[in-house]
């Protein structure tokens, strides 16, 4: 089974210098539960879940850049890129070895979505 055959979550692409609230708004506009945070040059810094951003920007007096949040432990572990043509089993193994619970799936520079480890394992088992 290929990665492209597995359910992928929607993702919004944001820049590291973007305000975290703006990243959250961008995610909500696309109804995307994930934000892929890129540095200059397109390098993936990390993947953020909507709830990870929401928890940090709930107080109006706090200010975070998307890059700051993406560099934290869990989001930075997700800084994996997977091809949609890769074998799903290989992608799962790679995520497990890197300690990631998700990875960005890209095709020709256009990110179609996020592969979540739990969903990928479920697809493999059944």
| CATH number of the domain enclosing 99 | 3.10.580.10
Separation between Cα atoms, residue 63 and residue 106, nearest integer Å: 30
**14-60 pLDDT tens trace:** 999 999 999 999 999 999 999 999 998 889 999 999 999 998 888 77
Q: State phi, psi for 125 to the nearest 5 degrees.
A: -85, -15
**Domain count of the fold of the chain:** 1
**Where does the pLDDT of residue 111 fall: very low under 50, low under 70, confident under 90, or very high at 90 and above?**
low
Instruction: Give 53-62's long-range contacts (Cβ < 8 A, gap of 24+).
Output: 53/20, 53/23, 53/24, 53/27, 54/24, 56/20, 57/20, 57/21, 57/24
Helix ranges restricted to H, the chain? 20-30, 50-57, 66-70, 73-77, 88-98, 117-125
Its pTM stands at 0.89
How many Cβ atoms sit within 10 Å of the Cβ of residue 114? 23
What are the pLDDT digits (tens) for 67-92? 999 999 898 888 999 999 999 999 99
Give the residue numbers spanning the domain of 114: 3-125
């Amino acid at each position: 089974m290929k990665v492209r055959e597995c359910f992928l979550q929607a993702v919004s692409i944001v820049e590291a210098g973007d305000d975290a609230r703006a990243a959250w708004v961008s995610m909500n506009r696309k109804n995307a539960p994930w934000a892929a945070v890129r540095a200059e040059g397109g390098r993936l810094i990390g993947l953020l879940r909507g709830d990870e951003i929401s928890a940090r920007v709930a107080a109006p007096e706090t200010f975070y850049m998307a890059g700051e949040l993406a560099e934290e432990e869990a989001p930075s572990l997700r800084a994996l890129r997977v091809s949609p043509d890769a074998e799903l089993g290989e992608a799962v193994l790679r995520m497990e070895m890197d300690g990631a619970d998700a990875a960005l799936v890209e095709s020709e520079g256009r990110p179609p979505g996020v592969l979540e480890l739990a969903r990928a394992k479920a697809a493999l088992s059944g």
